[in-house]
Structure 1
Amino acid sequence: MARAQLWTKDFIVGIGLNLAMSMVFYLLMTSMAGYAVARFAAGEAAAGFASSSFVVGAVVARVLTGKYLDFIGRRKLLIITMAISILASVAYMLADTLVWLFAIRIIHGIAFGAGNTAIMTAIQSVIPSSRRGEGTGYFGTATTLSTALGPYLGVVLPRAYDFPMLFAASAIMSIVAFSLCLIIRLPKQELSDYQRRSKWHLKLSTLVDPAGLRIGAIMLIVGIAYAAALVFLAGYAADSGVPAAASLFFVAFAVASLVARLFVGRLQDVLGDNFVIYPVFAFNLVGNVLLAMWPTMPGIILAGIFVGLGFGSLMPCMQAIAVKSVAMARVPVATSSFFLLLDAGSGIGPIILGAIKPLTGGSGMFMLCAGLVVLGAVVYTFVHGRYRGGRPGREFLG
């Protein structure tokens, strides 16, 4: 039997759209706190909120987008949100007070949260169901690339050309994303009777999906651990006498993630979720232990490889599980629920770990993150692994 076609024009365009959209997120997330300090002399707390307020907007958007996505239309919402992203990128240059900067960040976050939920949901209608894990993994390579390129440009552009060039780059990426929204063609989604009846019912069951929350809870826990590397690794590496190791960690992370995603999704489709997920947790655990115990140049680079194989592979694998766990009509809500908790981990992780770090030191903090990875594996076992994590086509009761 011939395999279902995966590499269609719309799938390739979707990968490009995801890359451009994710680049805007990581480009600005890395540098916004520094901009708030440089431009408005913001204190530590205000500078932190200048960065995380984007996530606040994204979380709010995800709650409602899952329910109303198919009423608005997936392609239409993508076009609207990317147009807002262009305007927001330009508006950063015009903001003359810190309050206006916060407002623009929240609006930009809302646009990103809605648009990202739309493309993450829409691409599942383009991927053949028999190649769900493989297709989701390939699609996620765009996000992986952006985690390396975005922070790199977020540091280099302000140093070389000042912050207006950073916002110009954000606007250019948003224009690219907007253009790709006009090109992509997505299957029309028919609304179910339940969706029509519950359109204006803002009950919890219509805003979030239990399967998306169950799998998303795993990403919340493990996402807090990854937030430690995103936010605190640069300082930890500098304190350890190897400041250059932090940037090389993310290069190693991106390369390892890209390599893993070439085959991890296909293994998941053929051999089952558990065959892939438990090794992925093990790799992530080893990476965090290396950061805690061996903060040298080779140790941090090696940790980047293991975390890339681990956390870098975990997100697309878990998203594929969340999508497979629900009926097609519930995919938008399940997707928004999944990313809602992933965003929450990214948002609260730096706050929690920042409070703990003075008590534990950097080494103790990363060892705590290793414990969070173990906790994530335990939660996975209880919510999915021991019931439906085995080889496709049969239940796994081990």
Structure 2
Amino acid sequence: MSQPHDPPAKLFTRDFLLAGLANLFISMVFYLLMTSMALYAVDRFQASDSAAGLAASIFVIGSVTARLFAGKLLQVLGRKRLTVISLCLFVLASVMYLFSGTLWLLLVVRFVHGMAFGAGNTAIATAVQSIIPSARRSEGTGYFGLSTTLSTAVGPFLAVLLAANGNYTSVFVFCSISSAAALLICLLIRMPEPRPTTERHVSHVRRGSFIRSIVSPAALPISLVILVCGVAYSGIISFLAPFLISSSMAEAASWFFVVYAITVLVSRLFAGRIQDRRGDNAIMYPLLVIFALGMAALAFDPSNLSVVSAAALTGLGFGALMPCAQAIAVNAVPPAELGIATSTFFLMLDVGIGFGPVALGLVIPHLGYTGMFGALTVLSVLGIGMYFQVHGRHARGSRGNAV
């Protein structure tokens, strides 16, 4: 039985908690495989460095491809149906790793797996935005995002633990079980569906409707800010470890992400509340500045102090920035367009994080690691100006009366 259009004021409902748990399992599979896939391709298929990198990154390419059409699919299939179909494919792809006997088959499985992730993640994230009370949207989005934050720490840890001595079979079995658990949990979630309206049907034949079914014009501006910040953050994901290793600080790379994860967990306990009560600018400007300072801390020869400072600042900045920006994106559209807005937001995030390292890899030989992080600091500062232009100068106060 469908739920009322306006959700109750209570945030921690049964469906909200189940959605967070499902997202934890899905995200854990993503980070576990992303951590271990390149090494697996080398050990199992003697892949070259470029092929091993492709084995890891083609998942993101699949995710981006799916997000291009996820908004349209949400309108055609509905949130619950798209979630179930995507997670069935997600489970199948997880199992197929066990039977991928060639590198080419592995690449195909990774691409399909990424598509299932992109579509399923978009569907769940959209449904959650309808479950969260509109007046507590930033707070609820932040809490929901904690499941992803937890997976960034647990996934890589399990990858190292399960793949010890080259035992990748246990990795794939665990991912298959986690994927099946996410599917079963999602079957129990009651996902509100938007009411079919005349406007919704007219939009299918409206001029330019194909582009609008892929990208939401209202959500795109703030999503472009996240794309810029995502490119900057991709420099940390891809090049922080080799940067610190080359500086004889290999151990610092491991506890950087521990400090980062702790800071993200803490920041999401209060950032959403501030945004809901004080307005977007009250939290977005400080977060963008803090993130830029975190990038700047890496633009010098590393020390224990600079690494810890960078971990804390980027965790507070980028970690809290994502749910706050997502709340802006979904609040910019009517309820029937939540799917397209969510898809647009994560599409830009995936493009920034997934393809940023390609461009940065071309910069490093010329600028070095510190020069690259210096350039990313400038990019982060430009993100502040971009936010002002696309949203900050128009932002209102609290959304206590938001629709």
State if a TM-score over 0.5 links the two structures.
yes
Whole-Å Cα distance in 2 between the matches of residues 169 and 320 of structure 1? 33
Structure-to-structure mapping, 1:225-304, within 5 angstroms: 225-304=232-311
Shift of the alpha carbon at 1:192?
Answer: 2.6
Superposition deviation, residue 244 in structure 1: 1.1
Give the fraction of aligned pairs with identical amino acids, expressed as a percent: 47
| Post-superposition CA distance 1:296-347 (Å, at most 9, x none) | 2332122111110000001000000001111111111111011111100111
Tell me, in whole angstroms, the C-alpha distance in 1 between the residues paired with 2:193 and 2:363: 48
- The answer (yes or no) to whether the contact 1:294–1:300 under 8 Å persists in 2 is no
Q: Equivalents in 2 of 1:177, 1:391: separation in Å? A: 34
Deviates more, 1:65-74 or 1:95-104: 65-74
Greater shift after overlay, 297-306 or 121-130?
A: 297-306
CA distance 1:200–1:85, shift in 2 (3 Å): farther
Q: Distance in 2 between matches of 1:52 and 1:264?
A: 31
Question: Alignment partner of 1:140: what SS?
Answer: helix
C-alpha RMSD of the superposition: 1.7
2:166 maps to 1:143: no
Separation (CA, whole Å) in 1 of partners of 2:161 and 2:244: 19
Cα distance in structure 2, aligned partners of 1:285 and 1:156 = 34
Q: For 1:176-195, list aligned pairs within 5 A.
A: 176-195=181-200
Contact 2:69 2:213 in 1 (8 A): no
| Conserved? CA contact 1:323–1:331, under 8 Å | yes
1:290-329 paired onto structure 2 within 5 Å: 290-329=297-336
* Native 8 Å contact 1:133 1:269 kept in 2: yes
Which amino acid is the alignment partner of residue 381 of structure 2? V
Q: Specify the alignment match of 1:215 in structure 2.
A: 222
Which amino acid counterpart does residue 191 of structure 2 have in structure 1? L
Amino acid at match of 1:217: L
CA distance in 2, matches of 1:30, 1:59: 19
**Native 8 Å contact 2:194 2:335 kept in 1:** no
Letter aligned with residue 143 of structure 1: T
One-letter amino acid of the counterpart of residue 249, structure 1: F
Post-superposition Cα deviations, 1:237-289, rounded to whole Å, max 9, x if no partner, equal 11111111111111111110110101110100000111101111121112111
User: Does structure 2 conserve the Cα–Cα contact (< 8 Å) formed by 1:221 and 1:373?
Assistant: yes
Number of residue pairs matched?
Answer: 392
Whole-Å separation in 1 of the counterparts to 2:51 and 2:166: 24
Partners of 2:27 and 2:148 within 8 A in 1:
yes
Which residue of 2 is the match for residue 11 of structure 1? Answer: 16
After superposition, the C-alpha distances for 1:150-184 in whole angstroms (9 at most, x for unaligned) are 22222332225621111122112111211211211
Contact 1:126–1:187, Cα closer than 8 Å, also in 2: yes
After superposition, the C-alpha distances for 1:175-223 in whole angstroms (9 at most, x for unaligned) are 1211211211112322232333444886212221012221111111110
- The TM-score normalised by the length of structure 2 is 0.93
Unmatched segments (≥5 aa) in structure 1: none
Task: For 1:348 and 1:294, locate their aligned partners in 2 and report how far apart those are by CA, in whole Å.
Answer: 26
Is the Cα–Cα contact under 8 Å of residues 141 and 324 in structure 2 kept in the other structure?
yes
Task: Kindly indicate whether the alpha-carbon contact (under 8 Å) linking 1:70 and 1:191 is maintained by their aligned counterparts in 2.
Answer: no
The amino acid across from 2:336 in the alignment is A
Question: Which range moved further: 72-81 or 328-337?
Answer: 72-81
| Partners of 1:137 and 1:317 within 8 A in 2 | yes
- What is the distance in 2 between the residues matched to 1:355 and 1:362? 11
Report 1:60-75 matches (<5 A): 60-75=65-80
More moved, 84-93 vs 310-319 = 84-93
| Structure 2: tracts of 5 or more residues without a match | 1-7
Structure 1 segment 1-398 matched on structure 2, within 5 A = 4-160=9-165, 162-199=167-204, 203-392=210-399
